[in-house]
Amino acid sequence: MFFFSASVVLPQTTYPYQNSQNSVEVRVQDLLGRLTLEEKLDLLGGTGFATKPVKRLGIPELKMTDGPLGVRWGPSTALPAGIALASSWDPKIVEKVGQAIAQEVKGKGRHVILAPCVNIARIPQGGRNFESFGEDPYLCSRMTVSYIQGVQQEKVVATVKHYAANNQEYQRDFVDVLVSERALNEIYFPAFKAAVTEAGVLAVMSAYNKVNGPYCSENPYLLDEKLKSEWDFQGLVMSDWGAVHSTIPTVQNRLDLEMPSGQYLNPSTLREALVNGTVQESHIDEKIKRILRVMFTIGFFDGYFPADSTVINSAAHRQVALEAARAGIVLLKNEGNILPIDQKKIKTIAVIGPNAAIARTGGGGSSQVTPIDPVSPLQGLKNRLGDQVQILYAPGIRLDGDESAIEPAYFYTDANMKQPGLQAEYYDNKDLQGEPKIKKIDPQIDFRWHGDAPEPGMPVDNFSVRWNGVIKAPQSGKYIFTSASDDGTRLYLNDQLLIDDWNDHAVEARTAAITLEKGTIYSLKFEYYEHGGDAVILLGWQLPGEDLEKQAVEIARKAERVIFFAGTSANYETEGRDRDDLILPNGQEVLIQKLSRV
């Protein structure tokens, strides 16, 4: 006798939106009809760096990450700055860069890269000029199209930004850019138009500023008349982080997604407007369609690619970065054919400059990538020349923000100086409120948590830390304290507020000078908060009495050739502020003149 048993499998209903054989528009319309009004309203605001999921219908988060010079979600491959890519005049290499970045986006388990940045370089001292493709609308357009094509061939969403006329960091949150219609269409729009009409970009990010009156996130000329009507853009328009200032004008003028959260676009702010007819449900439906359309277009519901971390900083991606960097180099002059260096004749080289021993892979802010095993110019020369040429090194000058973290040997928990380190209090909110979630002793302040929680049990975003203790000065003289952080910091020494930077921003450095006496103990309080995205915090100092210039002149005298690596850093060219001037900072030109006379 044989007995057969089998589990009963009930037939599962497959809805049209779940069928990959259906067109994108059929699937969008079907899924839209299955969402409740409350769910639709809730989808209009993000959650930090993602859209909200709807578990009932299997709608996952659309996960985002900053760009455009690499994936800013933990360490990854650092690609050349946009201005360097434009200097290559090579759309093919730019497409390769976009493709490499997109592959690493997927490797991080994300789906959207907030790039490219295509704003025209209108003012020379603009803090984010390095991110974009320069001042020429045509060149910028060609680079833009290639970058987006490279990204989206990998089924990753490209987000062209910042729309529009976002050409300065100074007062960027509220400045009203008054510009003629002709200038907009001939200078500031071409790259965005090409992104839409040629590259088929899936997302556009509205800028912080106003243009001719209205904010960009509620600007009818930008969003309705040009982008969605004349250019027939079918993707989604998201705000820059915190760039929404209203509910009704924003909804009516066709922004689709408020980031990083739905402060203005949410069920509670929109219900009454829907009831009284100020806002029609069709307005909401159009926005949700665009969000869903992007998801279906990249195959989000059809077994999207699993994260493959092996692509991060792969040999192939490092090669792309190298090729792009080489293509963007411009040799201005080679008087006397001093390049390339003849290793048979030259046996001693002095390598000098603030950018010699540090791999400057990009500017500061939301584009700043944490590179993996970066190679500085100094190390590259050593690797290339080996023992054939003697290399002497001196920085000559130190740029603001380059200080290392203060060493643990100078910190104590209190004036008794029995316990090294600082008392740390970790709060699960960004306001240092209530009881600390965690209390511990940190030996120093040098943390790069990136997208992770600072401690087990702590949130990934929206937390704060307060460090208390004392610091002992090893010598007398003027010290320069530096806080480098993403987001805000406050530094107190003997209850005197030295650094007050209690603001949201990507990684930026702040400095303060103070005279200290050798052996004296000073009370120290350092506060930090994080409000989304990366989490980085460092407290450093520059000791008094360093004569870096003298050291540089001395080694220059001993060398047959001097290679000087001049420039700025991520603390000078950065999101959030423009440069004060175009002078090489901290006296580099003077030092170069002195070295040329040796």
Active-site residues, by number, are: 240
| Rounded Cα gap, residues 290 and 31, in angstroms | 12
Picking from 156, 119, 251, the residue whose alpha carbon sits closest to that of residue 237 is 251
Helix axis angle, 137-152 relative to 190-197, nearest 10°?
30
**Exposure string over 384-410, b if 16+ CB within 10 A, otherwise e:** eeeeebebbbbbbbebbbbbebbeeee
Segment (H or E) for 394: strand 390-394
Residues in the chain: 598
Segment (H or E) for 182: helix 181-183
Q: Report DSSP letters for 253-322, one per residue.
A: TT--BBSSB-SSSSHHHHHHHHHTTSS-HHHHHHHHHHHHHHHHHTTTTTTPPPP-GGGTT-HHHHHHHH
The answer to whether the beta carbons of residues 570 and 364 sit under 8 Å apart is yes
Q: How far is CA 444 from the centre of its chain?
A: 25
Sheet with strand 561-564: strands edge to edge: 390-394, 348-352, 561-564
Spatial neighbors of 553 by CB under 8 A, at least 6 apart, are 594, 595, 598
Amino acid at 178: L
Q: Which pair of structure tokens corresponds to residue 441?
A: 């002793």
CB atoms within 10 A of CB 204: 27
Q: What 3-state DSSP class applies to 413?
A: coil
> Residue 529 phi/psi, 5° resolution?
-135, 155
Picking from 97, 72, 569, the residue whose alpha carbon sits closest to that of residue 325 is 97
> Residue 491 phi/psi, 5° resolution?
-120, 125
Picking from 509, 569, 571, the residue whose alpha carbon sits closest to that of residue 357 is 569
